[in-house]
A and B are shown apart, each in its own frame.
Chain A
């Protein structure tokens, strides 16, 4: 069966520190992969999506970046976190629909 793993579940990071969130998918090949962010009480903002290894489409210009070093691995990074980067980060996969991981709740302090 297809599964998605996203970690960590919660993270508290100081302003200016780096960030690396990882997402891996099992049970499928060549999925579309997505990173979303959800601010408190708000909808899902699409940050990045990828249709294949090394192919990244960026939706929002900011201090975040994404990489897809392997077919089923998607990484969200930042060199220096801002307070405004706090939120609920969600990775999703799928070819038609999107199925979500459990999310990472990031608090930048």
Chain B
């Protein structure tokens, strides 16, 4: 079982709609959860982090965490063409406090 799992996509969403990205993790001791956006050929950039169960909102982005289900999600409202990228879920903590493990990423495409 992979430590962090994501659907590879591609996920195609019409412009203006809500994009929903999901991630599951295997280590129940994980403490911190991150979403990164990566444009083709570029390095990942952090867009959201969440530590506690529930929702965390930042502009058009909402991260959701459910530790009991070992599930993290990212919602992007009012999707724009510039949101087309690969979204990487990352998990920190658990067996090693400082280790950060990434999922393989979900490719998101926003169609005009």
Contacts and interface: CB of A to CB of B under 8 A. Distances in A.
Q: Do these two chains interact?
A: yes
B49 A101 contact: no
Contacts, number: 47
Nearest to B6: A43
Contacts of B98: 32, 49, 51, 57
A43 B104 contact: yes
Q: Name the prevailing secondary structure of the A interface residues.
A: strand
Q: Name the prevailing secondary structure of the B interface residues.
A: strand
Per CB-CB distance, the 10 closest pairs between chain A and chain B, nearest first, are A43-B104, A44-B102, A100-B43, A103-B43, A32-B98, A51-B98, A43-B105, A98-B100, A43-B102, A97-B46
A32 B96 CA distance: 13
A80 B73 CA distance: 41
12 contacts: A32-B98, A42-B104, A43-B102, A44-B88, A49-B98, A90-B44, A92-B100, A96-B92, A98-B46, A98-B100, A101-B43, A102-B42
